[in-house]
Structure 1
Amino acid sequence: MSSPDLSRRARPLRDEEFPRVLVVGHTPFSRSTGTAMTLSNLFTGWPKDRLAQIYTADSIPSTEVCENYFPLPLAQQHFPLQYRSMRMVGRASRRVLGWDGQPVAPADAPTAVAAHAARRRTALAMLHAQKPTILDLVPVRMTAGLARWMRAFQPDLIYSMLGSVRLTRIAAAAARTLTIPIVPHFTDDWPATLYANGELFGLANRTARHAIHQLLHHAPLGMVISQPMADEYTHRYHIPFTPFANCVDDTYFAPPPPPTPQPHPTELVYIGALHLNRWESLRDIGTALDTITGTGHPARLTIHAPADDLHQYGKHLTHLPRIRLGNPLPAHHVPTALHNADILVHVESFNPDIRRYTRYSISTKIPQYLAASRPILGYGPTEVASMNHIRTANAGITIGDPTTLTHHLTTLCQDPHLRHQLAHNGHTYARHHHTTTTVTHHFATTLNTARHHHARR
């Protein structure tokens, strides 16, 4: 099923038609990550006095969209004795395992020492490895200061992208404290995959599922990232879900380039993260480009990824001559990079566990790619929603079989008329489904529906 057509202009909303929304999340409003960018784009144009956010990340928020923040560091999420106990256990277990946290040479010595000690103290090592899980599962508290701040803001509802048991519990606690509804927004299928490997003998997964169901008691409706996810979640959780992906402003839109042969090498560009094994799929493309270039049709792939990803995964790509690792791009430089490309690349992992996690997700960059009027090469499992979105827009070639990658990539690189038609299709689709004006209007009216639904109860 395709996304709803949002191209018809609706009348502008009056300020009082925007509900007062308390956003609960890890990352504050900013342009620093895909999630934060989607969040900022969806709330573009919201009256600032009707928006506030609780966030847990150790980062500086932007005031572009929201100005009323309550930072909630880890120490304030738990009871003092509980927090001190967790820190003491963490320090003690690292000492017993042979790593006291001090610098050791060579650089990887702490890991090697801990691994050697873990073989001698298996039970303690397993407990230490489960520390992030335990930290996510322990009870959270609602401080008096946070409760006063929330009540002073007087929100109509809570909106949250969740993503962990801890955030789910914080959002649910806020809803109980204020007696207001929650609108959860799921951007990937983490409820089906979080702690699915038997962590803490299955207790972690059961706790996560219980926390989600407890939160949904406060939710008159929900939001997701794609239509297939809306269909699945409506069936799974028995409340209506509406899809909302990233939206893009006019700076991303550009006319398709003319279908003329180019004298220079075909320029492919990838903008995004390298984690979730995406670097492996990019490596496959780099290998295929070597073959294509060897036949007399030069092409290269430039990758713009976050600095941490380049540091961690870039070493797997530097040996490929047709791949260039570009600099991380600030948000305001992304449109120019997209417009300078001949082909835009999107990849997902073929790993079974990862493809289950991403199967309903639409990457933040897909609407940006469509608006940029460049053809898209999609390489990854064909059932993933991002790949389906490219096919629905008829804006690119999606390849789900690694053995056919070189053939299809050659066709896309060598046929300017095909690239022009795909780019035109993507531009048209983005104008109908992904402009900021139309998406944010639909987003605001959906949140208003949740407010009025709760008022009628």
Structure 2
Amino acid sequence: MVSVNPLSATSNNGKTIASFFEGHPVDSIAQVFFHREAPSSPVCRKYIRITDAHILRFLTGYGRRPVAAEALHAEAATTGQSVASQANLDRVKGWWWLRLLRSLAWRFTPWESSPALVAWLDEFDPQVIFFCGGDANYLYPAVEGWARRFDIPVAFYITDDYVLPISTRSPARLIYRRWTRRVFRRMTRGAGAIFTIGDHMSKVYEARFGFSSVPIMNAVDIGRRTPPQSVAGERVDFVYVGSLHSNRWRVLSDLGSAIQVLRTEGVDCELTVYARDRPTGEAGAGLASSRVTYGGSLGQEEVAQVLARATVAVHVEAFDRESKAVTALSISTKIPEYMAYGVPILAIGPEDVASMLYVRDGGFGRCVTTQDPEDLLSAARDLAQDPEERGRLSARGLELAVINHSSSKVSALVREVLSGLVSRGSGWSAKSGCQARMPAHW
């Protein structure tokens, strides 16, 4: 398995990928990752990572020593938090010249030939590569190289869109995106299977690029949950669990203002935001002015406790053009969790974004697709004052969670596709195109 982020019990991308491999033999999985965050998932015991710090040490040492790689043992998979704050990470993500220079440094540093990494790969002797590269364009040639070296297939997983044309005034961002599109297209031609985060992405990419793919979304443990019972007149807790980047905090601030209006109308309600880092700067001021409560950072068990008590779960997507370009084809990893806990959803964002389409078409949430404060106030008021509607939405969400997000079902699908690639003995071929489709019985 190769991805930027490590497998995780809490962080979005790592948590999603880990959910696909629940039930797989632990010793049959190993991960190469490229982030300072430590892994925290029990589905894998064998890890190795290379980070920006390793690349900088190599470059500042003028290449006198090979790039280091850090092997992690099983016990490292039980704890670990991100070293860098989300706020700092978000700022760096907006500096496109810096990101371009960083990618160039990785691309022209021989990190993939690190003796420690090569020995680690040889010892594990992989049969298939599950690759989630996002816009880390410097990783794609290395994955192709490993596929060719071991003569094994690649299963390529796409979670966000980094390749469709966008309007931007940044030359660096344009160059970066074109570079990513080029390696993305090569990967889709050579991969034995392609997974996407949802039906909408699969349909758009097939129409645009001509390749078929298997949609898989975040898998959750549903168990024997039943929708919570709502009672008229009880306190209504609106809860948001997730990140505040891509201008999501602005939408949450608008919702906070609507909830303040409801409080003046005598409705006992509150909006609480749970995020990794306390919002600061413009985001902190905006949320504070709307009297949005910051509930802190949550571990996985705490997320379960919060959602079990929540009256309404909130999902937001920003309306500005740049934020929308990033999230247009993606399904939020939190939506399946909300569904699995039987919590009705208030979804706010552009009507053509994949997450909004999923909530609308599934019929398990109330969608607000305009920036009109009256529309937002009306939706929040309806959910706060109508326990029967909340109950109906809760039941529908739980029903769809069983169908679309059951961890046993999703992991079985992933296992079947990967096993098929291995059994066919298919390796990398830049002319083959995607060979795997959704199994007929799914």
TM-score between the two structures when normalised by the length of structure 2: 0.82
In the alignment, which of 185, 197, 201 is matched to residue 225 of structure 1?
Answer: 197
Sort the Cα spacing of 1:189 and 1:203 in 2 relative to 1 into closer, same or farther, 3 A. closer
Deviation of 1:239 after TM superposition, in Å, equals 2.8
Once residues 41 and 290 of structure 2 are traced to their aligned partners in structure 1, the CA distance between those partners, rounded to angstroms, is: 41
Task: Name 1:92's counterpart in structure 2.
Answer: none
Sort the Cα spacing of 1:327 and 1:422 in 2 relative to 1 into closer, same or farther, 3 A. same
Contact 2:9 2:41 in 1 (8 A): no
Deviation of 1:314 after TM superposition, in Å, equals 2.7
Deviation of 1:154 after TM superposition, in Å, equals 1.8
Deviation of 1:149 after TM superposition, in Å, equals 2.2
* Structure 1 ranges of 4+ moved more than 4 A: 75-85, 193-198, 308-312
Sort the Cα spacing of 1:75 and 1:368 in 2 relative to 1 into closer, same or farther, 3 A. closer
Contact 1:193 1:357 in 2 (8 A): no
In the alignment, which of 324, 331, 337 is matched to residue 368 of structure 1?
Answer: 337
Deviation of 1:167 after TM superposition, in Å, equals 2.4
Deviation of 1:204 after TM superposition, in Å, equals 3.1
Task: Name 2:314's counterpart in structure 1.
Answer: 345
Sort the Cα spacing of 1:409 and 1:54 in 2 relative to 1 into closer, same or farther, 3 A. same
In the alignment, which of 208, 213, 224 is matched to residue 236 of structure 1?
Answer: 208
Contact 1:339 1:372 in 2 (8 A): yes
Query: Where does 1:104-253 land on structure 2 (aligned, <5 Å)?
Result: 130-137=97-104, 138-141=107-110, 142-143=112-113, 144-163=115-134, 164-192=136-164, 197-200=169-172, 202-250=174-222
Once residues 453 and 324 of structure 1 are traced to their aligned partners in structure 2, the CA distance between those partners, rounded to angstroms, is: 54
| Structure 1 vs Structure 2 CA RMSD | 2.5
Once residues 449 and 81 of structure 1 are traced to their aligned partners in structure 2, the CA distance between those partners, rounded to angstroms, is: 41
Task: Name 2:268's counterpart in structure 1.
Answer: 298
Secondary structure, counterpart of 1:317 in structure 2: helix
Task: Name 1:388's counterpart in structure 2.
Answer: 357
Contact 2:328 2:354 in 1 (8 A): yes
Matching of residue 50 in structure 1 with residue 28 in structure 2: yes
Query: Where does 1:291-330 land on structure 2 (aligned, <5 Å)?
Result: 291-307=261-277, 309=279, 313-321=283-291, 323-330=292-299
Sort the Cα spacing of 1:51 and 1:354 in 2 relative to 1 into closer, same or farther, 3 A. same
2:377 partner letter: T
Deviation of 1:297 after TM superposition, in Å, equals 1.6
Secondary structure, counterpart of 1:54 in structure 2: strand
Sort the Cα spacing of 1:256 and 1:32 in 2 relative to 1 into closer, same or farther, 3 A. closer
In the alignment, which of 7, 28, 48 is matched to residue 6 of structure 2?
Answer: 28
Contact 1:314 1:325 in 2 (8 A): no
Deviates more, 1:69-78 or 1:162-171: 69-78
Task: Name 2:255's counterpart in structure 1.
Answer: 285
2:192 partner letter: P
Deviation of 1:200 after TM superposition, in Å, equals 4.1
Once residues 28 and 237 of structure 2 are traced to their aligned partners in structure 1, the CA distance between those partners, rounded to angstroms, is: 44
The percentage of aligned residue pairs carrying the same residue is: 27
Task: Name 2:42's counterpart in structure 1.
Answer: 64
Deviation of 1:246 after TM superposition, in Å, equals 0.7
Once residues 424 and 274 of structure 2 are traced to their aligned partners in structure 1, the CA distance between those partners, rounded to angstroms, is: 44
Secondary structure, counterpart of 2:164 in structure 1: helix
CA offsets, 1:82-134, max 9 Å, x none?
8849xxxxxxxxxxxxxxxxxxxxxxxxxxxxxxxxxxxxxxxxxx9723212
Task: Name 2:71's counterpart in structure 1.
Answer: none
Task: Name 2:69's counterpart in structure 1.
Answer: none
Sort the Cα spacing of 1:83 and 1:430 in 2 relative to 1 into closer, same or farther, 3 A. farther
Task: Name 1:418's counterpart in structure 2.
Answer: 389
Contact 2:162 2:180 in 1 (8 A): no
2:335 partner letter: I
Deviation of 1:294 after TM superposition, in Å, equals 1.4
The count of residues paired between Structure 1 and Structure 2 equals 390
1:57 partner letter: H
Sort the Cα spacing of 1:192 and 1:429 in 2 relative to 1 into closer, same or farther, 3 A. same
Secondary structure, counterpart of 2:288 in structure 1: coil
CA offsets, 1:202-227, max 9 Å, x none?
54333222222232342022011110
Deviation of 1:415 after TM superposition, in Å, equals 0.7
Once residues 201 and 46 of structure 1 are traced to their aligned partners in structure 2, the CA distance between those partners, rounded to angstroms, is: 39
Task: Name 1:272's counterpart in structure 2.
Answer: 242
Contact 1:346 1:376 in 2 (8 A): yes
CA offsets, 1:245-294, max 9 Å, x none?
1111136x63222343133x311111000001000000010111111221
Contact 1:193 1:356 in 2 (8 A): no
Secondary structure, counterpart of 2:426 in structure 1: helix
Deviation of 1:65 after TM superposition, in Å, equals 1.1
> Any stretches of 5+ residues in structure 1 without a counterpart?
1-22, 86-127
In the alignment, which of 382, 402, 410 is matched to residue 439 of structure 1?
Answer: 410
Deviation of 1:309 after TM superposition, in Å, equals 4.7
Deviation of 1:169 after TM superposition, in Å, equals 2.9
Secondary structure, counterpart of 2:32 in structure 1: strand
In the alignment, which of 41, 44, 51 is matched to residue 19 of structure 2?
Answer: 41
Matching of residue 398 in structure 1 with residue 398 in structure 2: no
> Any stretches of 5+ residues in structure 2 without a counterpart?
64-94, 433-442
Deviation of 1:71 after TM superposition, in Å, equals 1.4
Secondary structure, counterpart of 1:362 in structure 2: coil
Once residues 180 and 77 of structure 1 are traced to their aligned partners in structure 2, the CA distance between those partners, rounded to angstroms, is: 27
Contact 1:303 1:324 in 2 (8 A): yes
Deviation of 1:444 after TM superposition, in Å, equals 1.0
